[in-house]
Structure 1
Amino acid sequence: MHSYKDSFMEYLQIEKNASPLTIKHYGRDIDEFYTFLHAEGTAIENCDYSTVRVFLTKQYEAGYARKTVSRKVSSLRSFFKYLERENWFDSNPFANVSLPKAEAPIPNFFYEQELDQLFQVSDLTDPLGQRNQALLELLYGTGIRVSECVQLKTGDLDFSLNTALVLGKGRKERYVPFGKSASQALRTYMEDGRLDLASKHKDPVRTLFLNARGGPLTADGIRLILNKMVKEAALTVDVHPHKLRHTFATHMLNEGADMRSVQELLGHEHLSSTQIYTHVTKDRLRNVYMNSHPRANKR
């Protein structure tokens, strides 16, 4: 089993050029399936469709969400497909397993008034405040993922064109534009606050966003920063870095941007991933109704 897994991991890394996070998730799903086979006393070579059905039953009994189980099935289907391709297995026991997809939830997003409050909380005379403002402006101004944000280097920003070179999923690069507000916040941070933070670290750090000790800021660090900003803004909303990405896409589409352009900006491989943002806010619906219906404003 482990030799099969090691070979598959090498295939993902070299041939598929998968990200370290993707490889980690595949490995974890394979390890879990191996633990299940061991508990059942079944060798991987004897795994068949009935074995898979027992595995799925135990997944649901353990309380895993349908989305989580679907991801595991996808991982293991790819794993066995590779083993079949290498002629180590005659068939793929996951090939005929189909799970109905749960309806995708409408992403949460910030209303403009909530964002205005967030943009007011940072102390722009303080290095950490300058960093937090630049972080907020960039995440909302570009819609990039938090995993993409923490990888940004100072050299990835081009202020002559106001663009950022982003390394996305599958190590695919794309250029993402940012606006005047983000540009000003980033310049202030890089020319002032970042220099102060960088001086606290013994070795030079190339990543754009630094923590209080001058080291690279992590994804968990970004979450803590945003949660603190929400509390300081006295907002009673849930916050996570992806919510700013949802907000970026929602506001872009609500203001008339075409879906293909938003797809490219977000780095989505499939248009279906972008279509979830075609919902509209209640405020916009109300404005459309009030301005369009003949009797909406009749007294």
Structure 2
Amino acid sequence: MNIQKDIDRARLDEKAPAMPWFVQQFIDYKLPDLSPSTLLEYVRDYETFFNWLRSEGLSQAASNRDVTLLELETLRMDSITGYRLYLTTRREGTNSRITVSRKLSSLRSLFHYLSQIAEDEDFYPLLKRNIMAKVEIKRIHKPKDTAAKLKGKILEEEELQDFITYIHEGYGHDVENNKQALYAHEQNKVRDACIASLILNSGLRVSEVVNLNLADIDLNNKMLHVYRKGNNDETFKTPVYFRAQAKDDLEHYLQLRQTRYKVPKKEKALFVALRNGQNEGQRMTKRAIQAMIIKYAKRFGKPSLTVHKLRHSFATDYYLQNDIYKTKEQLGHASTETTEVYAHLTDKTMSEAIERRSDE
């Protein structure tokens, strides 16, 4: 069972009824091909758009659910320009170019479906005029640009191990005058270091870490079985290898998982937390892992480091020792274009990397 996917599917089911009927139809059409997480983002984007339409008087609907096809059909180009400006200048939080591009892409997908695929009872398109077909969305995610933004914000070479060691030992020294923080660290340092080590030695996504169960671990072969992003086959888990460092940290954590976190037998999750006021350990959430890494990163001196940048850190280090195709497979990327980021992140040649690692 993919825990994060189930959570996002439940949220999608909660939000969808507040959408117009044609959006609900679009979601049903896309559900076999896209993950609930992606569709949930779509719905949030439509929520923002419909709220804006109504606030600007471009829709007379009393609620988002009442927005009509005719109102979408009669939108003018200056309306879309206005929405674009709203996204980039609104006071309650402007959006980056990447976010604006994604929000417009969400709209394009919906409008394309309504004008090119969906039909009414007379076999005519639901949407007779598609204003979004005129909107050019420039590609933002260029590997070279992404790599430039990551420079100096990820862990490199010996820093990978230094960060794991800091979670084990250094953080405790830094908070020794804060009894509450020190106690929490003593309770969780082995688990926290294990999570960081696993990502830094395998490149797992945080959602993949959250979904891990005890049965997914094969310590002897240094292998995990994970639900990969983009794979909608609920019965298939992809084997992913990890380095020996992570094996040691996993063994250490597994020795105390049961007793320290009071884990009931029914709880199959690998990584668990014992929350305040609770008597039994439960599966850690994605948000808890993200917050945990940020907490350590700030004290470590890498305030821009996030749980996803741990994955980037592994990938850059792994790419130095392997080709782009092996890196693509290890990370679970859909194409090598995404993996090209790590070619731009390092100035070292493959021969230098092999020489540097040959004695390990």
Tell me the TM-score range normalised by the shorter chain. Answer: 0.7 to 0.9
State the shift of 1:115 in Å: 2.2
Q: CA RMSD in A?
A: 2.7
Q: Would you say 1:7 and 2:11 are equivalent positions?
A: no
> Contact 1:223 / 1:240 at 8 angstroms: preserved in 2?
yes
**Cross-structure match for 1:295:** none
Q: Would you say 1:51 and 2:79 are equivalent positions?
A: yes
**Cross-structure match for 1:211:** 273
Q: Distance in 1 between the 2:298 and 2:136 partners?
A: 43
Residues 17-96 of structure 1: matches in 2 within 5 Å?
18-42=34-58, 43-62=71-90, 63-84=94-115, 85-87=117-119, 88-96=126-134
Q: Would you say 1:149 and 2:209 are equivalent positions?
A: yes
Letter in 2 for 1:70: S
1:263 aligns with one of 328, 346, 357: 328
> Contact 1:165 / 1:174 at 8 angstroms: preserved in 2?
yes
- The structure-2 alpha-carbon separation of the partners of 1:162 and 1:46, relative to structure 1 and needing over 3 Å to count, comes to same
Identity %: 28
Q: Distance in 2 between the 1:185 and 1:198 partners?
A: 17
Q: Distance in 1 between the 2:83 and 2:89 partners?
A: 10
Letter in 2 for 1:178: F
After superposition, give the CA deviation of every residue in 1:172-212 in whole Å (9 maximum; x if it has no partner): 5422101211122112212x22112442x567322211113
> Contact 1:156 / 1:166 at 8 angstroms: preserved in 2?
yes
> Contact 1:49 / 1:93 at 8 angstroms: preserved in 2?
yes
* TM norm structure 1: 0.83
223-232 or 140-149, which deviates more: 223-232
> Contact 1:198 / 1:205 at 8 angstroms: preserved in 2?
no
Q: Which runs of 5+ in 1 are unaligned?
A: 292-299
2:316 aligns with one of 216, 234, 250: 250
> Contact 1:127 / 1:193 at 8 angstroms: preserved in 2?
no
> Contact 1:226 / 1:240 at 8 angstroms: preserved in 2?
yes
1:111 aligns with one of 134, 152, 156: 156
**Cross-structure match for 1:180:** 244
State the shift of 1:2 in Å: 1.2
* TM norm structure 2: 0.70
Q: Distance in 1 between the 2:109 and 2:217 partners?
A: 36
Letter in 2 for 1:109: I
Describe the SS at the equivalent of 2:239: strand
Q: Distance in 1 between the 2:187 and 2:256 partners?
A: 4
**Cross-structure match for 2:220:** 160
- The structure-2 alpha-carbon separation of the partners of 1:116 and 1:160, relative to structure 1 and needing over 3 Å to count, comes to closer
Letter in 2 for 1:59: L
Q: Which runs of 5+ in 2 are unaligned?
A: 1-18, 59-70, 120-125, 170-184, 276-280, 356-360
Q: Distance in 1 between the 2:88 and 2:302 partners?
A: 33
Q: Distance in 2 between the 1:137 and 1:33 partners?
A: 41
Describe the SS at the equivalent of 1:95: helix
Q: Distance in 1 between the 2:338 and 2:146 partners?
A: 12
Q: Would you say 1:97 and 2:135 are equivalent positions?
A: yes
After superposition, give the CA deviation of every residue in 1:47-102 in whole Å (9 maximum; x if it has no partner): 34443233223323334221111001111111112222112112432123113334
After superposition, give the CA deviation of every residue in 1:91-114 in whole Å (9 maximum; x if it has no partner): 432123113334533223202232
State the shift of 1:242 in Å: 0.9
> Contact 2:194 / 2:253 at 8 angstroms: preserved in 1?
yes
Q: Would you say 1:240 and 2:306 are equivalent positions?
A: yes
Letter in 2 for 1:144: L
162-171 or 133-142, which deviates more: 162-171
